[in-house]
Amino acid sequence: MTKVLYNNNINEEVLQSKKIAIIGYGSQGHAHALNLKESGFDVVVGLRKGRSWDKAVEDGVDVKSVADASKEADVIMILLPDEYQPSIYKEAIEPNLEAGNALVFAHGFNIHFNQIVPPADVDVFLVAPKGPGHLVRRTYEEGAGVPALYGIFQDATGQATDVALAYAKGIGAGRAGILETSFQEETETDLFGEQAVLCGGTSALVKAGFETLVEAGYQPEVAYFECLHELKLIVDLLYEGGLENMRHSISDTAEWGDFMSGPRIVDEDTKARMKEVLSDIQTGKFAQGWILENQANRPRYAAIKKAESEHQIEKVGRELRELMPFVKQKAINKKEVVSNDSN
C-alpha cells in the first residue's frame, strides 16, 4: 500500500520560523489561513480590496496587498482562482520572490500546463486537499480533517518536502492522511475526478434522474427528495464505510436493484466516454479550452451557469430547503467569502 502519513510522522518545526502568505481568501484560502493560524503558524493574507478583504479582517486575520504579503513571506500559497493566477503571479508575486522562498499551490494546473514558470531558486510544491475548502475548515474545527496530497516540483532549498508536510499538517490534513503525488498526477486526477464523477458526473446523473421522474408525471418535490436530497444521506454511508456500508444500510430490494440497474446506467459506453474525458485532460485539450474561454471573457460559462440556475430542480430545491432550516444553516454561502461575481 502507498505510504500514508499522519500527524505523528510529521515534525512541523521547519515551518514555525517562517512567515506564510495565503494569497486569496475564498473557499480554500479562508480555510488554510484560519487552520494554519490556529495551528500556531505566522500567517498573512494577500488580497485586493473587496469582499474577501473585509471578511478576512472580520475574521481577525492580518491582510495586506498581494505584493506586500508576498514580499514579507517565506512561503507563498497561491489560492486564487486557477484562471487568474498567471497574471496576478506575474504582476504581484514574481517580483517579490526571493531565493529560498517556497511557492505553493493547492492544484497543479498552472505549473503542469506551463502557465506559471517559476525561477529556479525557489521551492515549488503543492499541498492539495482532497475536498472543498469550506469542509477543510469545518472538519478542522470539529477536530478532524480532509486528506491531502503533496508533491514537489522544485526543491531548491533541500527542505521542500519537510515544509510541504508541515504545511499539510497545519491545515489539518495529517488527521486524515497525506499522500505523495506529482504535479502531473494531481492535476490530471483532480480534473478527471471533478469532471467525470464528483461534480460533472454527479450533476448530470441527478438531473437526468429528476427529469426522468418529472417527465413521467411524478411530483417534482418527490423527484427532488429522491434524486438530490437523499443522495447526501447515501454518500454519508459511502464516506463512512464504502460501498458495503451503504449496501448494509439499504434494503435488500434496493441492493438487488443496485446490482441489476446500476450497470445499465453506467455501462461500458459511459466508461469509454470517461476515457475520452481523461484523454482530453492528459493532452491539454481541456486546459486549452478553459484558458481560451477565459481569454474570451467566459461567454459559454456565463450562459451555461444561467441556464443551470434556472433548471426546475434548483427552483424546487430552493423552495424545499426554505422549509428545512437545519439544511439551510449548513449551506455554504460562497458569496460571503468570494466577491467575484463569476465565482
Ligand X SMILES: CC[C@](O)(C(C)=O)C(=O)O
Q: Which residues bind ligand NDP (CB under 6 A)?
A: 24-29, 47-48, 50-52, 66, 79-82, 84, 88, 106-107, 128-129, 132-133, 338-340, 343
* Min CB(14)–ligand X separation in Å: 26
Using CB distances below 5 to 8 A depending on partner kind, what does residue 290 bind out of Mg ion, ligand X, ligand NDP, none? none
Closer to ligand NDP at the Cβ: 291 or 316? 291
Closer to ligand NDP at the Cβ: 118 or 220? 118
The answer to whether 163 and 123 are in contact (CB under 8 A) is yes
* Min CB(333)–ligand X separation in Å: 16
* Min CB(228)–ligand NDP separation in Å: 20
* Min CB(109)–ligand X separation in Å: 9
Tell me the sheet residues that pair with 149. 128, 179
Helix (H, G, I), strand (E, B) or coil at 23: strand
The residue written with cell numbers 439544511 in the block is 327
Closer to ligand NDP at the Cβ: 18 or 64? 64
Using CB distances below 5 to 8 A depending on partner kind, what does residue 52 bind out of Mg ion, ligand NDP, ligand X, none? ligand NDP
Active site residue 107: yes
Closer to Mg ion at the Cβ: 72 or 194? 194
Segment (H or E) for 42: strand 42-46
132 part of the interface to ligand X, by CB under 6 A: yes
Closer to ligand NDP at the Cβ: 80 or 165? 80
Q: Segment near ligand X (CB under 6 A), from 149-157, 163-171, 191-199, 265-273?
A: 191-199
What residue is closest to ligand X based on CB?
Answer: 194
Candidates 215, 221, 205, 216; CA nearest to 318 is 221
123 part of the interface to Mg ion, by CB under 5 A: no
CA 161-2-34 angle, to 5 degrees, is 50
CA–CA dist 195, 306 (Å, integer): 19
Please tell me which residue in 107, 134, 229, 311 is annotated as part of the active site: 107
CA 145 to chain centre: 14
CA–CA dist 110, 127 (Å, integer): 14
Candidates 147, 140, 178, 141; CA nearest to 162 is 178
The answer to whether 145 and 139 are in contact (CB under 8 A) is yes
Task: Please report the sign of the dihedral spanned by the C-alpha atoms of residue 287, residue 311, residue 204, residue 228.
Answer: positive
243 part of the interface to ligand X, by CB under 6 A: no
Site for ligand X (CB under 6 A): which residue of 199, 208, 250, 304? 199
Pairing of strands 178-180, 148-154: parallel
CA–CA dist 133, 146 (Å, integer): 9
* Min CB(57)–ligand NDP separation in Å: 12
As a whole number of angstroms, the longest Cα–Cα distance in the chain is 66
Task: Please report the sign of the dihedral spanned by the C-alpha atoms of residue 248, residue 251, residue 253, residue 259.
Answer: negative
Site for Mg ion (CB under 5 A): which residue of 12, 74, 82, 190? 190
Residues that bind ligand X (CB under 6 A): 131-132, 190, 194, 198-199
Catalytic residue IDs: 107
In the annotated binding site, the residues are 25-28, 48, 52, 133, 190, 194, 226, 230, 251
